[in-house]
Chain A
């Protein structure tokens, strides 16, 4: 994205933000629900993008962390705790469990690690389903209340959409800060060349665990918002297919690109809705579109943009070189 001039980027950003605030005012209940879901899933996908896209650690357990956050939030808010307290607990819990899940990553990588995290995902699902004293088992937890924000009730869809959007904004700023910090650089080094990273003093163990823990904590945040969004949770939405969906969002949007999860979540949440007019065929069309995209650009949608920008930069650089060369020749 570095090809754009800075003021242009800021203007574009402001337009998008204004659009996200103003346009949904006319949306119906269902439209607002979908958009809120987009915001929540973007948060979860941003977490996975950190773990997978930046630090290069494969995880098939992000859905489980959304579940952990959702149950923490549902249990606490139905017992009278305020949502912010539930979010803090969800973050701490998902962070701690994510940290522990990071330990296998110190020994195994790639698809082996994928299988370890997949096993964890199954384990979490079984806990949600079987420990009914805590989670309500297959009956789940209903009547999850929505919070009051600055004294305003968010029971209606629009105010709660703003809660989701505001949370997304906070998480976006935090993640932006993180990836621009030396930590972001260390995560990237971990992904690109752990051997070289170690010899530069980068404590790869600690950064690997941090990548897992922080990514999982964002999954927890998403879950803590998901529970009051749907106001009813049971174990099914948090099974392996959510983890796979989140993985797809990250990869389709562009793993390791900051805006990848925003786009990926938009495609995963909104595209099926837009394709609904095709009735029975929409899932098929959706699947074909995803396959086509990944064949065309394995680095996702933002990968296409990145290649285009790189090509433009190379062109500009060679033009500069040609000018310099001709100047040298005329000087001689």
Chain B
């Protein structure tokens, strides 16, 4: 399997603090890679460097073998890299359906066609499909701000999939989501992964979720990669147990 994402020696410093210290890894097409590590170990900073929200101090990011370091988030998104956020980032005043239309509209046509074309950019059907897929049907016309936390998390994930991404980086999708909804979310993610052949990188603290969802797990500590391997291998790794799982 070829690598969708290749990260080489990514480094990010904030003043004297090195948040990410020379991280290299690759993500294979169609896999679900888990990214775990204690709070403050640089997981989210690494995400932001890959996604162009932060400019890395050093290192290189390649998408399908092409260097994309320094591209803007919107440009990367158009190349098929999408994300979800650790904290809720839906548009509270828009309805669920409008949130999804917004999430997909920049992937249709060009600036001119978005101005003179249909106001839904031809996305109402696609949005409804996504709503059905994430079982949000009864909430489609509700303002997103009125949804429960877990439902907003689902919407946030659904928004990441509207543009038909090849690679999705999910930052703590399970945080604050109740167990029933969580198993729903996992089921959806696995389905999209299989059917659409989308590749995922998932930051998560919920071990059970990570271990059952991911094909490989990367462990970070203090800005560095501590271990990388199948979930059962990582679980047994003594360095990992010491840094993270041991208590």
Contacts and interface: CB of A to CB of B under 8 A. Distances in A.
B35 to A, nearest CB: 17
Contacts of B119: 180-182
B48 to A, nearest CB: 10
Interface residues of A, number: 23
Interface in B65-108: 72-75, 77-78, 82-83, 85, 89-94, 98, 101-103, 105-107
B88 to A, nearest CB: 10
Contacts of B240: none
B83 A199 contact: yes
B154 interface: no
A193 B51 CA distance: 17
A66 interface: no
Contact of A185 (B74, B92, B102): B102
Most buried by B among A181, A196, A205: A196
B107 A201 contact: yes
Most buried by A among B77, B92, B162: B77
A232 interface: no
A181 B77 contact: no
Interface string A200-222: 11111110000000000000000
Interface residues of B, number: 34
A215 B25 CA distance: 46
A196 B106 contact: no
A252 B162 CA distance: 37
A195 B115 CA distance: 22
Interface in B90-141: 90-94, 98, 101-103, 105-107, 111, 114-117, 119, 121
A162 interface: no
Contacts of B39: none
Given A196-B89, A196-B91, A199-B51, A189 B77 contact: no
Contacts of B106: 182, 186, 200-203
List 7 tightest A-B contacts by C-beta distance, closest first: A201-B106, A201-B77, A198-B73, A182-B114, A196-B89, A182-B105, A180-B119
Given A196-B85, A199-B82, A200-B106, 13 more contacts: A182-B117, A182-B119, A188-B91, A192-B93, A196-B89, A198-B74, A199-B83, A199-B85, A200-B77, A201-B77, A201-B78, A203-B72, A206-B111
24 contacts: A181-B117, A182-B102, A182-B106, A182-B115, A182-B119, A185-B98, A185-B101, A185-B105, A188-B94, A192-B92, A198-B53, A198-B72, A198-B73, A198-B74, A199-B82, A199-B83, A199-B85, A199-B89, A200-B74, A200-B77, A200-B162, A203-B72, A203-B75, A206-B111
Interface of A: 178, 180-183, 185-186, 188-189, 192-193, 195-206
Interface of B: 51, 53, 72-75, 77-78, 82-83, 85, 89-94, 98, 101-103, 105-107, 111, 114-117, 119, 121, 159, 162-163
